[in-house]
Amino acid sequence: MKKSLLYLAGIITSIALLAGCDIKGAPEMINLDDESEGFIKNEIIDENGSVEEIEITEPEVSKPEAAKCELEDGVYIAEFDTDNSMFHVNEMCDGKGELTVKDGQMTIHVSLASKKIVNLYYGFAEDAQKDGAVLLEPTIDVIDYNDGTTDEVHGFDIPVPYLDDEFDVALIGTKGTWYDHKVSVSNPVLKDVTVVDDKGVEQFAGYVYQGDYTIEVDLEGGSGKATIASPAQIKNRDDGSQVVCIEWSSPNYDYMLVGDEKYLPVNPDGECSIFEIPVADFDEPLEVIADTVAMSKPHEIEYTLIFHSDTIKEVE
């Protein structure tokens, strides 16, 4: 394509020089603006009256080069960030969208704040306005708000070339003007996975966090003398299940009960008692019993744990 453009530029320059010198028999160029599908057609007539046609391919629309996808096929929840506060996911989505991975290709569905954004384009605003540009059409998403109301907003399925780094997405609103924006997708978390451990207990009947994460946890109940470490570690087991590590300030707890299941400390000789327990639902109170041997005889104490999903962070 570059060679063709250079060739045309050379022809035009030669014609200009010939015309300036008023040389008889200089070729005549015609139809400079004749466009057809996929290329620009130009014709020149030489001194013998022969017509030569030159085809120049139009510049291809630039697209981000996709990196190799390291995620397995599945549906994930991922963070969706933009460079502008006017272009963002709906407040009820907590800055996240649904990332689908299929055959190594990634697409994220995001629900926006309203219907004011009419179309998106995977690329630059300039390219979005060219003939043949494929625009991203909106879906109608229903959002349930905390006050009990619902609203319809526009959602979009956006191709994702790679994770963590910015790529280009253009948008057009109800006023009909295209704008360039930078977006990024990061921290994918596998969605809707239920893993059952060797005791038949469901582990994280919701999102499975792949990698090393922490979560803040509140402790209620007891005398208030004992505390637990917060944030707590989310730990992956070899069988694919996940647990949260509960680290007590005392070494005197010899078991914990979660439902009907008994869990023993993973460090019986440590300076503090540490247990690995399943958590079925974040943000919901989890009733547990911890048995202490600090008194004259063992004593079971009821506690309530609350894990806050909005505090989950990846360990760097």
In a shared domain, residues 185 and 205: no
DSSP annotation string for 140-189: EEEEE-TTS-EEEEEEEEEEESSSSS-EEEEEEETT--EEEEEEEEEEEE
Strand partners, 105: 102
Is 221 in the same domain as 237? Answer: yes
Do 243 and 296 belong together in one domain?
yes
| In a shared domain, residues 53 and 81 | no
290 in any annotated domain = yes
Is 63 a residue whose pLDDT tops 90?
no
Q: Which residues span the domain enclosing 29?
A: 2-57
Residues 293 and 260 in one domain: yes
Whether residue 21 contacts residue 13, with contact meaning beta carbons closer than 8 Å, is answered with no
Compute the mean pLDDT over every residue in the chain, rounded to the nearest whole number: 79
Amino acid 10 reads G
How many independent structural domains does the chain possess?
A: 3
Residue 65 in any domain: the answer is: no
- Backbone φ and ψ for 91, nearest 5 degrees, come out as -60, -30
Look at 112-126, 136-150, 187-201, 248-262 and tell me which has the smallest mean pLDDT. 187-201
Query: 310 with 241, same domain?
Result: yes
CA torsion angle 114 119 125 128 (round to 10): 180
Dihedral sign for Cα 195, 201, 204, 209, please.
negative
Does 58 have pLDDT greater than 80?
A: no
- pLDDT tens for 71-125 read 888 888 899 999 999 999 999 998 999 999 998 899 999 999 999 999 999 999 9
Spell out the residues 6+ positions from residue 302 whose beta carbon is closer than 8 angstroms to its own.
221, 222, 287, 288, 289
Per-residue pLDDT reduced to its tens digit, 172-201: 999 999 999 999 999 888 775 544 455 554
Q: Are residues 223 and 182 in the same domain?
A: no
Q: Indicate whether 183 and 201 sit together in one domain.
A: no
Euclidean distance between CA atoms 44 and 40, whole angstroms: 13
User: pLDDT band at residue 160, thresholds of 50, 70 and 90?
Assistant: very high
Residue 263 lies in a domain: yes
Is 0.85 surpassed by the pTM of this model? no
Same domain, 148 and 165: yes
Which of 167, 189, 211 lies at the terminal end of a domain, its last residue?
189
145 within a domain of the structure (yes/no): yes
Residue 67 lies in a domain: no
Q: Is 69 part of any domain?
A: no
Which residues, in sequence order, are bridge partners of residue 170?
A: 121, 180
